[in-house]
Structure 1
Amino acid sequence: MLVGAAALLLGGGGLAAVATTALAGNSHPETGSSAGHQHTVSAFTISCPDVGERLRQVPHSAQLPVSKGLSSLDRQVHDAYHKMMGGSGSAVLGGLKTQRQKTIKMMVTAISKNAKRPGYLLKMSGCTVKPVNEGAGAGGNDSTKTVKEGWYQGQNPNQTGGQQQGQDPNQNGGQQQGQDPNQNGGQQQGQAGGPSPDDFVDINNVQPNADQPPFAAPQGGNATTGTFTTECGRNEEGHFNSDNVIVTPGVSNGAHHTHDYVGNTTTDGNSTDQSLAASDTTCTNGDQSTYYWPVLRKLDGNAEQKPGAAQDANVGSVLTPATVTLTYRGSQAGQVEAMPRFLRIITGDAKAFTNGTKNANASWSCTGFENRQLKDKYPLCPKGSQVVRNFAFQNCWDGRETDSANHRDHMAFSDQNGTCPAGFKAVPQLVERITYDVPQGDSFAVDSFPEQLHKPVTDHGDFINVMPDNLMSKAVDCINNGQKCT
């Protein structure tokens, strides 16, 4: 095996070693062969404050400028990360800060025309260099922690661990501009930009940590035990794009990674409530809702040169799910109320590797082993077992808004008893279960922003409720009456 090494000169005089090795981390245990593509050791990444997370009020007149600004911020980090990997080192941080200052100022100006000026955003332009052994899912396996029953009844899975609410996402990185990012070590082998072999764990070596599978309905006491399942296929039609109509509406390639879609057949970055309501659907019951998530790729070196794929550092052939199950379930505390049409929910955090785990909600497992759930590792499944992704969405709604400025504040998780925060009401909880047939070995990864290094903790799901009102009423009745309906 041939191994080459290059030294990248960083601003401040530090050196970061970046080694390339053929086939490292992606061998196939049965044959000893591999996909035959090159892999790069990356010892550091770029961590920037998440401006979108801090938005609190965006008037309608500012929505498009803010959306374009958020997409520009992601592109700027993307470009700076690749310059750093190409040899510029942390010297790119100064230029990145200048770019971010200009973009954030534009967003602040747009918002302040019809709302209170969010001057606090102007303090979020600076970024840091972050060793890859720091942050969510690195340097330790949180996946073996016990997953309590409440985790799957809607409780925020990070209430008992991970980053604290409001914590600066860069505090645990601790890297100053120009500091040698290798002082703390953390060099990993893996595909260029991730994932690392350390991101995978043999499911046989994981202790059972879930009292029940993520898709199980609440049981006992005052629980509403019914379920409503909507069948929308596996994206056999190939509905893909790298837009995100919830986070960056009106912007093409707003996600910088590719999404799988089922349900609504016309969803893209320019979709509106009106266009979604007029659309056809892949769902057999007339559910026009939009369900989407980042694609899973087989790491076979396929570099399709288009937005969301190789142009955004997402390399490999897209894997079509083996199954997609979309289930709505009730509350541990009692009856649920209907979701409003056009309610938007995002669960998980696409930037959890650098943001910290406050909003992370990844859950990975293998068929036959679903009492073992992983939050920050990809599972290595035995022969005949499929990889499983689960998304359990927030199940409490504020009763007023179908969206919020940061796309989170209008929704919340209940506690482990099913109780919603004050002012929130229980709604049917969407649980998505997606399975895949993957090659043996550490040979797959979820799409991500380049600087997130394809970490499994960054997995996330998006949902827009476009059920006709009568179908939503049927779902609520089924759940509250303890029935199983489709």
Structure 2
Amino acid sequence: MKWLSLALALVAPSQAYIRFGCATLSVQRLDPVVEPGRLPSAHLHQIVGGNAFNASMTGDIGEKATCTTCSFSEDFSNYWTAVLYFKARNGTYKRVPQYPNALLGSLTGGMTVYYLQQDFNSNGKTKITSFKPGFRMTVGSPTSTKGGNPGLKYTCLKDIMTRGSETDDFPKQPCAAGIMAIHHFPACWDGKNLDSPNHQDHMYNTVKGMFQNAGPCPASHPVRMPQVAYETMWNTTQFNDKSLWPADGSQPFVWSFDDSKGYGTHGDYLFGWKGDALQRAMDSTSLVSNNLKTQSVAEANKCALKTTINEPIDGWLDKLPGAGGM
């Protein structure tokens, strides 16, 4: 696949990670990790990955899905975050469109996903243990009212290749090429639990952000797993006219749970790689030479999920889907 080869070829010098795109699978109010079985969930999510996604997910997801929106055809995992909206002066909302990373071809929206062994420059000497069937986790919380997690950031894009200059909250000025939301998950596992009541305590966060070496795992969580990260590109450019922004000059974007600061940004992960595919990749010295199976952009874009929750999410809305409730 020429587009995938190009993307993976740019992970030099040591190819210590895999990086790939996943097109949008669905945008609806479903959350099988935080609100399993609830139809609908409290707020809207953008979801990518395997088509087994539903309100109640148990067992080996890699055996249940029949297609995936991700470029690696053996990855039936699901990855999701909240959805970004623009709030106009008159109080109405409009969903902000997504666009794919420039290196990943013409995928339909979605996000870029990373699995790192140590950092961009080294595989390290620690064995990386793949997640297990049934594993799930979250990072961040919609109830957070302050920043500080080095793995949860925003970048105001000067162009689609901008990196760095990360902030804890939404950019306060119009961004020439949109806003990138960044989610780095913890990579240290307790070695026992596939989940925990808050979906975070079975993991330990040593993340330093900016794809730096996260450091050693503590004795309480001794198993080093892949460092998972998401990058979502939100195309805010149609809203760059500041005459559309609040009269007080404050920034106009909100997450789908009505967070205008951005501190409540969060992500969910549900493992679903087929068989031992991810472990084989993590055991590879060069992750570019990992023998993972790929699919075309057209195949990734074709995979879709039927909408379970029928409600307006596009156009100008008087209120956010779910009325902004938690």
Quickly name the TM-score band, shorter chain normalised: 0.5 to 0.7
Deviation at 1:413, TM superposition (A): 1.7
**Relative to 1, partners in 2 of residues 1:436 and 1:358: Cα closer, same or farther, differing over 3 Å?**
closer
- Give the superposition deviation at 1:328: 0.6
Residue identity matched to 1:341: P
How many corresponding residue pairs? 244
Identity of aligned residues (%): 20
Does the CA contact (< 8 Å) of 1:390 and 1:431 recur in 2? yes
Aligned to 1:327: 114
Are 1:366 and 2:156 counterparts?
yes
Deviations 1:164-211 (A, max 9, x none): xxxxxxxxxxxxxxxxxxxxxxxxxxxxxxxxxxxxxxxxxxxxxxxx
Mark the CA change 1:432 to 1:248 in structure 2 (over 3 Å): closer, same or farther: same
Provide Cα deviations, 1:82-120, integer angstroms capped at 9, x if missing partner: xxxxxxxxxxxxxxxxxxxxxxxxxxxxxxxxxxxxxxx
CA gap 1:375/1:290 in 2 versus in 1, 3 angstroms: same
Equivalent pair of 1:376/1:455 in contact (CA under 8 Å) = yes
Using the alignment, how far apart are the partners of 2:140 and 2:287 within structure 1?
29
Which residue identity does 1:397 align to in structure 2? W
Correspondence 1:244 to 2:31:
yes
Distance 1:365 1:243, change over 3 A: same
Could you say if the C-alpha distance between residues 322 and 456 of structure 1 is closer, same or farther in structure 2, counting changes exceeding 3 Å? same
State the 1:218 CA deviation: 11
- Note closer, same or farther for the CA distance 1:317–1:377 as it changes in structure 2 (3 Å cut): closer
Deviations 1:318-366 (A, max 9, x none): 223111211111126533222212211101111001xx55768530012
Corresponding residue number in structure 1 for 2:215: 418
Q: 1:399 to 1:325 in 2, by over 3 A?
A: same
Is 1:378 the equivalent of 2:171? yes
**In the TM superposition, what are the counterparts of 1:218-237 in structure 2 within 5 Å?**
226-233=16-23, 235=24
8 A contact 1:447–1:454 mirrored in 2: no
Q: 1:409 to 1:358 in 2, by over 3 A?
A: farther
Residue 445 of structure 1 corresponds to: 254
- Report how far residue 372 of structure 1 moved: 0.6
Structure 2 unaligned residues grouped into runs of 5+:
1-9, 101-110, 209-213, 243-250, 293-326
Change (3 A) 1:433 1:258: same
Are 1:302 and 1:316, in contact at CA under 8 Å, matched by a contact in 2? no
- Runs (4+) off by over 3 Å: 216-219, 274-277, 300-303, 356-361
CA distance in 2, matches of 1:319, 1:295: 8
Query: 2 CA distance for matches of 1:396 and 1:270?
Result: 26
Pair member with larger Rg:
1
SS in structure 1 opposite 2:98?
coil
Q: Which residue is equivalent to 2:234?
A: 436
The one of 109, 128, 137 aligned to 1:345: 137
Aligned equivalent of 1:482: 286
Tell me how large the CA RMSD over aligned residues is: 3.0
Q: Are the counterparts in 1 of residues 58 and 134 from structure 2 also a CA contact under 8 Å?
A: no
Aligned residues of 2:253 and 2:260 also touching (Cα < 8 A):
no
Match of 1:186 in 2: none
Match of 1:7 in 2: none
Relative contact order (alpha carbons < 8 A, sep ≥ 6): 1 or 2 greater? 2
* Aligned twin of 1:265: 51
- Cα distance 1:327–1:379, how it changes in 2: closer, same or farther (>3 A)? farther
Alpha carbons of 1:359 and 1:350: their partners in 2 closer, same or farther (altered >3 Å)?
farther
Give the CA deviation at 1:370: 2.4
AA matched with 1:265: N
Contact 1:259–1:295 (CA under 8 A) maintained in structure 2: yes
1:444 shift after superposition: 2.5
Whether the 8 Å contact between 2:60 and 2:133 is mirrored in structure 1 is: no
* SS of alignment partner, residue 433 of structure 1: strand
Q: 1:408 to 1:344 in 2, by over 3 A?
A: same
Change (3 A) 1:337 1:217: farther
In 2: Cα distance, 1:421 partner to 1:277 partner: 33
Structure 1 runs not aligned, ≥5 long: 1-215, 304-314
Q: How many Å separate the matches in 1 of 2:173 and 2:207? A: 31
Distance 2:157 2:216 in 1: 31
Match status 1:296 vs 2:84: yes
Which SS does the other structure have where 2:263 is aligned?
A: helix
Q: SS in structure 2 opposite 1:473?
A: helix
Corresponding residue SS for 1:472: helix
Measure how far apart 1:232 and its partner are. 1.8
- CA change 1:357–1:290 in 2 (3 A) is same
Q: Is the 8 A contact 1:227 1:328 kept in 2?
A: yes
Matches of 1:240 and 1:273 in 2, distance apart? 23
Structure 2 Cα separation of the partners of residues 477 and 218 of structure 1: 18
- Report if the CA contact (8 A) 1:293-1:461 is conserved: yes
Looking at structure 2, the residues matched to 251 and 402 of structure 1 have their Cα atoms a distance apart, in angstroms, of 21
Give the deviation of 1:430 after TM superposition.
0.9
Partner SS state of residue 298, structure 1:
strand
**Cα gap change, 1:344/1:218 in structure 2, threshold over 3 Å: closer, same or farther?**
farther
TM-score (norm 1): 0.46
